[in-house]
């Protein structure tokens, strides 16, 4: 029997409408129920293309035993972050404040008056990844609510004060000084990953706004221009070699699960690609590197082809899963590549380092093994011939891939 999500418009909420969990959408009915029954709220936030949201649904929200535990002890609310970014933003602040990181699915436990007192993201069905099982979390939270509500109140108040916006904004707002800009740039350059490109460690997210900031400063800051341009070229080139970037169809995945930009979290978000297209356009305008112009154009072609509705407007994302498997739509076997490319396979095999065992779970995620200069020298091509040959191969693979089943 469907739960209270059955009449919602959100694709993400409708995915959960037949769960045995008694889900409610965010609204007065659910909030009033929590107040009347004096029950804590379990708030689960995600979105339709989120791989780990699907995983947690299959492992926990479709499990009858887990659902009974949730229904008996909590008022359970599902939120689509793409439908309600305002709610997502508030509780993401709380999750980051309490755990030091965030992500989706986001799992937040609230008092009936909406104060968060315990937060997390994905919880497994059994203990693993140095994490408690979701049922253990549910049982411990339910016990704390029954036996130690004063501690729950204390934590809820503390978190609320941390995330509450200030009542009074300072009247005197000084403009950002040149020194502040220089300090910011120094910090970005000092923390840059010169080994693999970008900032931080796995999972590694592209940071287009940071790149745009550096490019803008490079046009005005002559003292650090050389180092800024060096970092920008390094990161733009690293991200576009493949893996994170879809060399066959254009467009970027949401993030890389490794430090090498090779293994993506395969979902593609419209807003990520909009920002990255601009970063590569600006990279081309500042550096003159025509590869960046090509990446920008291919990304916009991808958005137009796969994320634009025929009646106008844009789809928000493409799912990471196909036929229930993460990345199945995007990866290849050596036999598949050879069958599609025919006489061009030896060239492509060299360009992308293809081998029978693959580079990810027995399959191949396409990422360039040789740069253009080395590849052209190996096959005695000039740059124009090289790009034409690569384009022909990518077009053949895109046509073949278009026959695959897309979607979870």
Characterize the bridge pairing of strands 41-46 and 75-80: parallel
243 and 390 together in one domain: yes
What is the arithmetic mean of pLDDT over 48-75?
96
24 and 124 together in one domain: yes
Say which DSSP state 312 is in: S
Evaluate whether residue 78 is within a structural domain. yes
Q: 23 and 15 in contact (C-beta within 8 Å)?
A: no
Give pLDDT, residue 161.
Answer: 87
Give pLDDT, residue 164.
Answer: 79
User: pLDDT category, 163, cuts 50, 70, 90?
Assistant: confident
CATH number of the domain enclosing 114: 3.40.30.10
154 and 232 together in one domain: no
Evaluate whether residue 406 is within a structural domain. no
Give pLDDT, residue 175.
Answer: 78
Give the SS3 label for residue 46. Answer: strand
Quote the distance between the C-alpha of residue 82 and its chain's center: 13
Percentage of the chain beyond pLDDT 90 is: 87
> pLDDT tens across 181-232, in order?
889 999 999 999 999 999 999 889 999 999 999 999 999 877 889 999 999 9
The last residue of a domain, from among 130, 163, 196: 163
Q: Tokens at residue 52, please?
A: 């780990």
183 and 74 together in one domain: no
> pLDDT tens across 311-352, in order?
999 999 999 888 889 999 999 999 999 999 999 999 999 999
Evaluate whether residue 309 is within a structural domain. yes
Percentage of the chain beyond pLDDT 70 is: 97
- pLDDT of 157 > 70? The answer is yes
Evaluate whether residue 172 is within a structural domain. no
217 and 346 together in one domain: yes
- pLDDT of 308 > 70? The answer is yes
Lowest mean pLDDT among 146-150, 219-223, 270-274, 366-370: 219-223
* Mean of pLDDT over the chain: 94
293 and 379 together in one domain: yes
Give pLDDT, residue 223.
Answer: 85
Distance CA 327, CA 144 (A): 40
Characterize the bridge pairing of strands 264-265 and 268-269: unpaired
> pLDDT tens across 238-295, in order?
999 999 999 999 999 999 999 999 999 999 999 999 999 999 999 999 999 999 999 9
Of 176, 198, 251, 186, nearest to 223 (Cα)? 186
65 and 120 together in one domain: yes
Give pLDDT, residue 171.
Answer: 58
**Structure-derived torsion over alpha carbons of residues 395, 397, 399, 404, reported in degrees to the nearest 10:** -160
User: pLDDT category, 174, cuts 50, 70, 90?
Assistant: low
- pLDDT of 168 > 70? The answer is no
137 and 217 together in one domain: no
> pLDDT tens across 349-362, in order?
999 999 999 999 99
149 and 219 together in one domain: no
User: pLDDT category, 57, cuts 50, 70, 90?
Assistant: very high
Evaluate whether residue 218 is within a structural domain. yes
Give the SS3 label for residue 364. Answer: strand
Give pLDDT, residue 172.
Answer: 55
Q: Tokens at residue 33, please?
A: 């129920």
pTM score: 0.82
What is the arithmetic mean of pLDDT over 369-380?
96
User: pLDDT category, 73, cuts 50, 70, 90?
Assistant: very high
The last residue of a domain, from among 139, 163, 187: 163
Give pLDDT, residue 221.
Answer: 76
- pLDDT of 173 > 70? The answer is no
104 and 203 together in one domain: no
74 and 145 together in one domain: yes
Evaluate whether residue 169 is within a structural domain. no
The last residue of a domain, from among 118, 134, 163: 163
291 and 370 together in one domain: yes
Evaluate whether residue 107 is within a structural domain. yes
Distance CA 379, CA 372 (A): 11
Total number of domains in the chain: 2
User: pLDDT category, 78, cuts 50, 70, 90?
Assistant: very high
Q: b/e per residue, 8-41, with b = 16+ CB within 10 A?
A: bebbbbbbbeebbbbbbbbeeebbebbeeeebbb
Evaluate whether residue 408 is within a structural domain. no
Task: Give the structural domain span for 20.
Answer: 11-163
Give pLDDT, residue 155.
Answer: 95
- pLDDT of 169 > 80? The answer is no
């Amino acid at each position: 029997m469907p739960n209270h999500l059955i009449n919602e418009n959100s694709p993400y909420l409708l995915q959960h409408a037949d769960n045995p969990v008694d889900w409610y959408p965010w609204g007065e009915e659910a909030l009033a129920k929590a107040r009347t029954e004096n029950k804590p709220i379990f708030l689960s936030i995600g979105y339709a293309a989120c791989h780990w949201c699907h995983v947690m649904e299959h492992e926990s929200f479709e499990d009858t035993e887990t659902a009974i535990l949730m229904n008996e002890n909590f008022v359970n609310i599902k939120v689509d972050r793409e439908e309600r970014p305002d709610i997502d933003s508030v509780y993401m602040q709380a999750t980051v404040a309490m755990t030091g990181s965030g992500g989706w699915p986001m799992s937040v436990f609230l008092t009936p008056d909406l104060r968060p007192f315990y937060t997390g993201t994905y919880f497994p069905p059994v203990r693993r990844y140095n994490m408690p099982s979701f049922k253990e979390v549910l049982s411990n939270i339910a016990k704390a609510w029954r036996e130690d509500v004063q501690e729950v109140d204390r934590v809820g108040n503390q978190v609320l004060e941390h995330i509450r916006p200030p009542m009074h904004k300072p009247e005197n707002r000084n403009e950002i000084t040149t020194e502040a800009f220089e300090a910011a740039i120094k910090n970005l350059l000092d923390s840059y990953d010169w080994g693999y490109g970008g900032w931080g460690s796995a999972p590694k997210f592209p940071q287009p706004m940071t790149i745009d900031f550096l490019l803008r400063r490079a046009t005005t800051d002559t003292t650090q221009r050389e180092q800024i341009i060096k970092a920008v070229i390094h990161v733009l080139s690293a991200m576009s070699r493949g893996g994170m970037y879809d060399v066959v169809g254009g467009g970027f995945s949401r993030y890389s699960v490794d430090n090498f930009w090779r293994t993506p979290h395969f979902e593609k978000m419209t807003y990520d690609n909009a920002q990255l297209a601009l970063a590569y356009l600006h990279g081309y305008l500042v550096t003159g590197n025509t590869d960046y112009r090509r990446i920008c154009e291919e990304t916009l072609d991808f958005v137009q082809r796969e994320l634009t509705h025929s009646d106008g407007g844009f789809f928000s994302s493409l799912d990471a899963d196909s036929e229930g498997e993460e990345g199945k739509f995007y990866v290849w076997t050596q036999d598949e590549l050879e069958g599609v490319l025919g006489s061009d396979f030896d060239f492509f095999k060299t360009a992308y380092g293809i081998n029978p065992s693959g580079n990810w779970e027995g399959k191949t995620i396409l990422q360039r093994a040789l740069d253009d200069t080395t590849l052209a020298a190996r096959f005695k091509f000039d740059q124009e011939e090289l790009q034409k040959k690569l384009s022909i191969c990518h077009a053949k693979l895109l046509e073949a891939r278009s026959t695959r089943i897309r979607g979870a």
